[in-house]
Homo-oligomer: A and B are copies of this chain.
């Protein structure tokens, strides 16, 4: 929930004349997304999303993100497609910030994830992974193993403010993953933040995937591991193996999963849980008092991490 930058009428009107979409008739800040300022923009020609990229997004990464969305859209994936202005540019500047207008997608993200959502997610994720092939740019996953240790160093001295047993858990997990993190798995561009609020559904179909601002090159199975964490736990903390099974089955029906990928799932799930534990912990410890955005609970991911540390093998995920 966030609108950080207030766009004045004049600035907006001037910005929109660079595009071939008619005059602005309405522009409302959307209370979704925590990284950027998003506006629902209506013009004489249609409905769009206007995004102003706030400081958490590096401007130099934007050509990768916008280019990837365009690549996916061209290859049949329903995702926001950047509009090109009359000068050909999709990435422009508004109110001193990088800004883009993208197509509007119908659909709603599921507030209550059902097994059906997990099945549909699995299929859509696999189709997205395949459609990413041939994209020319590359982006290293800054939030994979090498990035976790500095993040942990920044958090560990104060982790005890959140829970007494958090620092030992993080230290132990970093040591473990440091020696066991898999390499050489099938890889490509992944979304890397495929949480329920980034996947839109309309009835019994996925109508769109949004928010590609963590997309990067990494193992496809790591995306599956992120989704095991983000989609397959109940609110009470219980893991739902049926949801996991449906997601993985639907995924492998589109893109087969190798034996190495299957075997790596528990450790990838541990790494993914640690990644969100660390970023949430960092935000929890460092969010300014009175900030608009309420930080997410890091302990949710500590619990998920402990679950994956206990699983005997990939069979626990229903596979």
- Which residues of A come within 8 Å of B, CB atoms? 1-3, 6-10, 12, 24-32, 40, 42, 47, 104-108, 110-112, 201-202, 289-292, 294
A108 CB to nearest B CB, Å: 5
- Chain B residue with the shortest CB-CB distance to A112: B8
Rounded to whole angstroms, the CA-CA distance of A3 and B201 in the bound complex is 21
Rounded to whole angstroms, the CA-CA distance of A105 and B27 in the bound complex is 11
B40 touches A9 (CB 8 A): no
A26 CB to nearest B CB, Å: 5
A40 touches B28 (CB 8 A): yes
A113 CB to nearest B CB, Å: 10
A140 CB to nearest B CB, Å: 32
Residues of B with C-beta under 8 A to A112: 8-10
> Given B2, B26, B32, B105, which contacts A108 in the complex, CB threshold below 8 Å?
B26
B292 touches A292 (CB 8 A): yes
B107 touches A26 (CB 8 A): yes
Residues of B with C-beta under 8 A to A2: 31
Residues of B with C-beta under 8 A to A289: 289-290
Residues of B with C-beta under 8 A to A104: 26
A111 touches B3 (CB 8 A): no
> Given B1, B24, B105, B110, which contacts A29 in the complex, CB threshold below 8 Å?
B1
A28 touches B25 (CB 8 A): no
A255 CB to nearest B CB, Å: 28
A166 CB to nearest B CB, Å: 20
Sample 9 A-B pairs with CB under 8 A, ordered by A number: A1-B292, A9-B201, A25-B106, A26-B107, A29-B30, A31-B31, A40-B40, A290-B291, A292-B292
A78 CB to nearest B CB, Å: 13
A29 touches B32 (CB 8 A): yes
A290 CB to nearest B CB, Å: 6
> Given B24, B27, B28, B111, which contacts A7 in the complex, CB threshold below 8 Å?
B111
B1 touches A31 (CB 8 A): yes
A210 CB to nearest B CB, Å: 11
Rounded to whole angstroms, the CA-CA distance of A68 and B187 in the bound complex is 60
| Given A9-B110, A26-B107, A27-B108, 17 more pairs with CB closer than 8 A | A1-B29, A1-B31, A1-B292, A2-B31, A3-B31, A8-B111, A9-B201, A25-B106, A25-B107, A25-B202, A26-B108, A28-B30, A30-B30, A42-B47, A289-B289, A290-B290, A290-B291
